[in-house]
Structure 1
Amino acid sequence: MRVDTTSGGTAGDGPLYVAAKKIYPQAVHGRFRKIKWGLLAVTLSIYYFLPFVRWDRGANAPDQALLIDLDGRRAYFFSIEIWPQEIYYLTGLLILAALILFLMNAVAGRIWCGYLCPQTVWTDLFMLIERWIEGDRRERMKLDAQPMNAQKMAKKGIKHVLWLAIAMWTGGAWILYFGDAPTIVGDLFTLQAAPVTYVFVAILTFTTYSLAGMMREQVCTYMCPWPRIQAALTDEWALNVTYRADRGEPRGSLKEMKKRAEEGLPAGDCIDCYQCLHACPTGVDIRNGMQLECIQCGLCIDACDSVMKKIGRPTGLIGYDTDMNLARREEGKPPIYNLVRVRTVIYAAIIAIVGSIMIYTLTSRSFADVNVLHDRNPVFVRLSEGGVRNGYTVRILNKRPYERTFLLRVAGLPEDARLEAVGISQSVDGNPIITVGPDRTRELRVLVFTSGTDELAASTEVVFQIVDVKDGERATAGDMFKTQ
């Protein structure tokens, strides 16, 4: 639908309200349309089929390449495993996504909206189905104008059934990322899935069907905040789909422009064919300048270029250009392009820094951890022979999908200090040996003894250390040893 003014109010007043006018985008062919088809195929293939990709992580671990395991409190991405306490990686991904969006805007405006936005991708798919069933622009307009009959009902019915099928598979595919995909598919079709699964599939089916099939450009124009935000982030050097008025004006019919040229009068290349308007999925006439509804998809470029080729004029009457070049052409200067500038360099640098930090932390992170909590009551116990005992709760974390054995040590106390783990009988040189199951944590009570306190302060910093007896991986946690 496209907004169109409707008269109202007293004479001389502007319209009091606007009426909706349905948009019938026309099919076009060209390089930008091919790019959009290619990206649609790639992105939808990844979304629909990635849950079925397997990745061997060994025993006791799921083999789905991408999985958000809510029950196990884990997220898996191929060889990467994220624990709940590593939620900062999600923060890093969101920061990277925002910065990449800013960089894309600085380079080529709303290129995300025109090529990669889920709303655009699914709307393109739904319109492909619509053209296949009902025909191109003129056929769809003619079909909508005629009264309801068996043929019209059949075409509309088949279209909406296919839309619902795509929407249902879209909603179902989203659920597959939160459990074993083949199992969930089997449960869904045999009606053995949990009720909440069907609820979420129904919600996502409804939103996909309504947004991509019924609302379309209204989502981009009214619901999405990005068009308002990107206006504050763009500048005169950003590439945007632009009509070259210096070359296209004055415009008129082909016959009229030929006549003006023969008479020696100014004649533009634009023949007022409206193919750019008819190709636009949001109903924008790009010849009126940059508009909020324009998603920078480039389909108007393909439509205009095809017309220019037919009439023997150079292509590029509509193309990606900058506001700076529009001003330079009016002054008779050649166009220049400056994609590498302070804004884009800063965005790229921050992206590189954040990405490098995330990669470094991922590659250097430990798969074992230890946490220590000092007893509060009593803080310490003085022994009959004059020594002091402190009690701690130690929690050892094993992030590997197999059982591991750790040696527990404490540093920072005199050599005669003694460590004892309640319930643990095995030890090496007085240091307890603790076994932790695969992908588990183990909590134990640990007592630390000293035989004398003359050389110790009232509060001494100590370090608990765990060491994997096989691969030597270490983790430490600090606390205090109290004597007063």
Structure 2
Amino acid sequence: MSIRWGAVKTSQRSPMPRRKRQMNNLSPSKSLYEPRRAVHNKRIDGPFRRFKWLVMAVTLGIYYGTPWIRWDRGPYAPDQAVLVDLAHRRFYMFGIEIWPQEFYFVAGLLIMAGIGLFLVTSAVGRAWCGYSCPQTVWTDLFQHVDRFVDGDRNARMKLDAAPWTWGKVTRRVFKWAIYLVIGFWTGGAWIMYFADAPTLVHDFWRGEAAPVAYVTVAILTLTTVTLGGFMREQVCIYMCPWPRIQSAMMDEKSLTVTYKDWRGEPRGSLKKSKKEPDKFGDCIDCNLCVAVCPTGIDIREGPQIGCITCALCIDACDRTMAEVGRPRGLIDYVTLEDARREIAGEPPRPVWKALLRPRTLVYFGIWSAIGLAMLFALGTRNRIDISAAPDRNPPFMLLSDGSVRNSFTVKIRNMSTAPRRMKIELEGLPGAAMWSSTTSRDRAAREIESTIPADATEPLRLYIAAPPGTGGQSFAFNLTTLDAQTETDTAKVTFSGPGASE
């Protein structure tokens, strides 16, 4: 009946052009997006809050302090512990040195980071988002600045609603100046990973650094202040893709922050619950869990995209339960399976059983296998390399005595931090001898010695003369170091000649 009435009413409407209806729907009185509500989270203390303090101190300490750590690599290499040396195409990380052709080590680290994120998410939900994500860490830092300047939650809300006076302007300017200092040092620390930190700081303040350094610091200052100081929870809710992806990584066995509605509902104030204890649940509707949330959500409404599982609501709820004399855990890390068990009256499982399950063990096994493979590759890799390319035009030359000459460009790479004496010798090509562009054919031999500078690639122009009638065939340049740490490498090439191939 109601459907027919709606259809009749629709048919009786006065005709309106489609374009005009669309314009009415987009009238200024209606907005396509919900306006942002400022989040003023309350200060709270508890084990999860203290853990967030620890993670923030460690991560920020690593980020800001690592460029200043020194690492002695000898006189031929930089002494900065972690350095991305773009000018010389090197990546240094303490005792590890990565060359461009060894980029697979960096790829391995990125794969390990991805699998590690899958592991953490499948085990404890968005714990990465709640504790270690750069957006979370810097947002937390800026929120502490807000408390330092404007006071705790109620004072900040009152100040926001107050008219603009000189006192409010002074506080805002002071707070935003601190934001800029944090953003500036964030950008400044970033560029120190790409150049020697003390030298760069000296050149930067004297105006002698490269223009790209100033541009990079300016961009990172702006983005840090904007994302951490003003957008904050909007980045986590709207901009970050991980909340949309995490659902594929989680299942009913994953731990996540959960409000136990079967225990807390129906809600009632402490006064009402004391009068009628059988009518109300444990939640006294104090809203402290909402007040402490850095993204401003109400965990009691169930799983939400804005929940970063920082567990501050657990600290808040546990404190309230202790004050009213009720058991902790109304909000807690719980799996869906354990939630069903608790509803049925069964005791919850130990946390370690929720963590040590086949899926997390598989992720951990893959993560560990990649890490061990990379360590093995690092431990067994050669610090030398040889490559050779023949001249294409002409492929060979006939000398006056009938011998056949080929020309090769040989590149010898020394990836150690000291010069090394090396020997190049021919393997195969019977009767042939070689000499370099700096010597004459009279000194031709089956092997040549050369000293290669530290951390360098040395090109050599080599000529090989084979007996008359030698045809095209394969042979190799064997490279051997002439020091206590003997290493070898081989470059296989083809000799061109007029004779029949062998």
1:70 CA drift (Å):
1.1
2:348 corresponds to which residue?
335
* Residues 171-208 of structure 1, C-alpha deviations (whole Å, 9 max, x = no match): 11111111111111122223332322111111100000
CA distance in 2, matches of 1:121, 1:255: 39
Residue 488 of structure 2 aligns with which residue? Answer: 474
For the residues of structure 1 that align with 2:404 and 2:155, how far apart are their CA atoms? Answer: 91
Segments of 5+ residues of structure 2 without an aligned counterpart are: 1-23
**Number of residue pairs aligned between Structure 1 and Structure 2:** 466
**Aligned-partner Cα distance in 2 for 1:295–1:61:** 43
CA shift, 1:389, in A, is 2.8
Change (3 A) 1:31 1:427: farther
Please name the residue that 1:78 is paired with: 94
Distance across 2 between alignment mates of 1:259 and 1:19: 41
Q: TM-score, normalised by structure 2?
A: 0.89
Deviation at 1:427, TM superposition (A): 7.6
Please report how far the alpha carbon of residue 398 of structure 1 lies from its aligned counterpart in structure 2 after TM superposition. 1.4
Local SS of the residue matching 2:457: strand
Match of 2:36, SS?
Answer: strand
Further displaced range: 144-153 or 204-213? 144-153
The answer as to 2:412 corresponding to 1:399 is no
The aligned runs of 1:335-414 (5 Å cut-off) are: 335-336=348-349, 337-383=353-399, 385-414=401-430
Residues 242-273 of structure 1 show CA distances to partners (whole Å, capped at 9, x for unaligned) of: 11112111211111112222xxx343110000
Q: Which residue of 2 aligns with 1:417?
A: 432
Counterpart position of 2:306? 293
The reply to whether residue 22 of structure 1 matches residue 35 of structure 2 is no
Q: Tell me what 1:5 maps to.
A: none
> 1:436, CA displacement in angstroms?
1.8
Distance 1:314 1:338 in 2: 22
String of CA shifts for 1:181-240, please: whole Å, max 9, x gaps.
Answer: 111112222333232211111110000001010000000001111000111111111110
**Structure 1 position 447 matched with structure 2 position 463:** yes
Answering whether residue 105 of structure 2 is matched by residue 92 of structure 1, we say no
**What SS does structure 1 have at the residue aligned with 2:64?**
helix
Cα distance in 2 for partners of 1:405, 1:424 equals 18
Q: In the alignment, is residue 184 of structure 1 matched against residue 200 of structure 2?
A: yes
Q: Residue type of the partner of 1:365? A: R
SS in 2 for 1:295: coil
For residue 276 of structure 1, what is the amino acid of its counterpart? C
Q: Deviations over 1:279-315 (max 9, x none)?
A: 1000111111110010000100001011111111111
SS class of match (1:21): coil
Alignment partners' CA distance in 2, 1:227 and 1:410:
59
In the aligned structure 2, how far is the partner of 1:169 from the partner of 1:271?
A: 44
Go from structure 1 to structure 2 and tell me whether the alpha carbon gap of 1:91 and 1:431 turns closer, same or farther (over 3 Å shift): same
Q: In the aligned structure 1, how far is the partner of 2:31 from the partner of 2:57?
A: 43
- After TM superposition, the structure 1 stretch with the greater mean CA deviation from structure 2, 289-298 or 194-203, is 194-203
Q: Is the 8 A contact 1:372 1:392 kept in 2?
A: yes
SS in 2 for 1:319: strand
Deviation of 1:478 (Å): 0.8
Counterpart position of 1:259: 275
Which residue type is aligned with residue 59 of structure 2?
T
Which of the numbers 197, 213, 238 marks the counterpart of 2:229?
Answer: 213
Cα deviation, residue 482, structure 1: 3.0
- Seen in structure 2, the aligned counterparts of structure 1 residues 58 and 120 have a Cα distance that, compared at 3 Å, is same
Cα distance in 1, alignment partners of residues 67 and 42 from structure 2: 35
Residues 1:297 and 1:165: Cα distance change in structure 2 (over 3 Å): same
* Segment drifting more, 248-257 vs 133-142: 248-257
Aligned residue number for residue 69 of structure 2: 53
Contact 1:52/1:181, CA 8 A, preserved across alignment: yes
- TM-score, normalised to structure 1's length? 0.92
Q: Which moved more, 1:240-249 or 1:426-435?
A: 426-435
